[in-house]
């Protein structure tokens, strides 16, 4: 909604160094200028070759996370960032070839005993790509080295995984999907040819991605919210979200101190950018139907629910001592900028 002036009462204010909370204050939020959405940069379609999603809409699922993006950092990808997408499938869902090509290899999966990894080579003239599909619980009979593959051909069944998603044990099916572009080289990073699939999807692939991605939820969203995040990000990593519309603080920053941890610290910001409240974040990001967030400061706890899609966060945040909002009907909209 248009915002002329909204008064947000906070139970803290900045001290002289602008970082530590001291006494109550009131923050007046004036009109904000919308932040235009941005698109990722990097390799794009070459020679007419594009990639489909490695599944059909009927095999997509979102009981645990939906889709874990390119470039995010965490315990398994702390040093070099995630080199592909992890895609959730329904139980028994079929993993499919993303483009025409030839099977390069069929090997035992490095991370999951009894599972397989398939690599397929693709070409557009003299421009060569490779796609990688992991955690296949079974393979179709025609998936053999040097065998031709056509777009959409079934490679096998996505394997199931049982692990904690946030604080909740979950069983789900998934496969890691990676695109390597051999005209691209990321230097010293592991998987140096890996590029984000987001940039090289066909129109049909993009339509399916656009249906899946808005439902994704994962631990890294507060600081790495995009389907394509920089693999070279440095930590501590801070992302600032600025109020675009609705009632709430003028801004909120979230800092992920370590690439190996998904623990966050927060700071509520006045319009000037001064921190007026700070503390730790507790997330239940795999909760359904909404993710919940607790902002825990020294003298206050604020409970909220949120939803993030790329550079847009909807956040319904209660004032100190209030119950958690039941839905996003009262949510303010925050925007962030994409690092280029």
Mean pLDDT, to the nearest integer, of 61-89?
93
Q: Taking the CB of residue 19, how many other CB atoms lie within 10 A of it?
A: 12
Q: Is the peptide bond before 230 cis (omega within 30 degrees of 0)?
A: no
Q: Which carries the bigger pLDDT value, residue 79 or residue 332? A: 332
pLDDT at site 296: 97
pLDDT at site 22: 33
205 sits in the region (left: phi over 0; alpha: psi -120 to 50; else beta) called: alpha
Q: What is the pLDDT of residues 248-283, one digit of tens each?
A: 999 999 999 999 888 999 999 999 999 999 999 999
Q: Which of 72-81, 105-114, 183-192, 288-297 has the lowest average pLDDT?
A: 72-81
333 in Cβ contact with 314 (< 8 Å): yes
Where are the extended beta strands (E) located within the chain?
A: 5-10, 25-30, 67-68, 85-89, 94-96, 101-108, 116-124, 127-139, 148-149, 154-165, 168-181, 194-195, 237-245, 251-256, 264-269, 275-284, 291-297, 301-309, 312-317, 332-335
Q: What is the pLDDT of residues 193-212, one digit of tens each?
A: 999 999 899 999 999 999 99
| Residue 2 predicted with pLDDT over 70 | no
The token duo for 205 is 């692939």
| Residue 45 predicted with pLDDT over 60 | no
pLDDT at site 47: 56
Backbone φ and ψ of 141, nearest 5°:
-65, -25
What one-character DSSP code corresponds to residue 117?
A: E
Q: How many residues would you count in the chain?
A: 340
| Residue 172 predicted with pLDDT over 70 | yes
pLDDT band, very low/low/confident/very high, at 144 (cuts 50, 70, 90): very high
pLDDT at site 34: 42
Residues 6+ apart with CB under 8 A from 112: 134, 135, 159, 161
Closest residue by Cα to residue 320 from 340, 297, 339, 336: 297
| Burial status of residue 92 (CB atoms within 10 A of its CB: 0-12, 13-18, 19 or more) | exposed
| Residue 289 predicted with pLDDT over 80 | yes
pLDDT at site 338: 85
Q: How far does Cα 262 stand from its chain's mean position?
A: 13
Q: What is the pLDDT of residues 83-107, one digit of tens each?
A: 999 999 999 999 999 999 999 999 9
């Amino acid at each position: 909604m248009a915002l002329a002036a909204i008064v947000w009462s906070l139970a803290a204010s900045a001290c002289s160094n602008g970082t530590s909370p001291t006494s109550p204050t009131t923050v007046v939020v004036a009109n904000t200028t919308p932040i235009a959405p941005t698109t990722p940069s990097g390799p794009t379609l070459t020679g007419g070759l594009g990639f489909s999603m490695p599944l059909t809409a009927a095999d997509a699922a979102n009981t645990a996370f939906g889709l874990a993006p390119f470039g995010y950092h965490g315990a398994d990808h702390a040093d070099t960032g995630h080199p592909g997408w992890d895609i959730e499938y329904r139980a028994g869902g079929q993993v499919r070839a993303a483009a025409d090509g030839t099977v390069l290899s069929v090997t035992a999966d490095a991370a999951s005993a009894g599972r397989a990894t398939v690599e397929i080579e693709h070409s557009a003239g003299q421009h060569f790509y490779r796609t990688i599909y992991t955690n296949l619980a079974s393979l179709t009979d025609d998936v053999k080295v040097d065998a031709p593959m056509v777009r959409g051909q079934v490679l096998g069944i996505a394997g199931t995984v049982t692990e904690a998603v946030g604080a909740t044990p979950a069983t789900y099916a998934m496969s890691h999907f990676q695109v390597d572009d051999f005209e691209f080289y990321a230097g010293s990073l592991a998987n140096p040819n890996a590029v984000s699939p987001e940039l090289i999807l066909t129109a049909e692939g993009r339509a399916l991605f656009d249906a899946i991605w808005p439902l994704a939820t994962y631990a890294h969203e507060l600081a790495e919210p995009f389907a394509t995040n920089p693999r070279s990000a440095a930590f501590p990593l801070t992302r600032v979200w600025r109020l675009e519309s609705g009632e709430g603080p003028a801004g909120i920053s979230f800092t992920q101190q370590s690439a190996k941890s998904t623990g966050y610290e927060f700071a509520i910001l006045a319009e000037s950018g001064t921190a007026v409240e700070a503390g730790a974040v507790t997330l239940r990001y795999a909760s359904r139907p909404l993710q919940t967030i607790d902002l825990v400061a020294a003298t206050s706890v604020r409970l909220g629910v949120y939803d993030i899609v790329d550079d847009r966060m909807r956040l319904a945040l209660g004032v100190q001592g209030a119950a958690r909002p039941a839905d996003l009907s009262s949510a303010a909209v925050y925007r962030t900028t994409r690092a280029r």
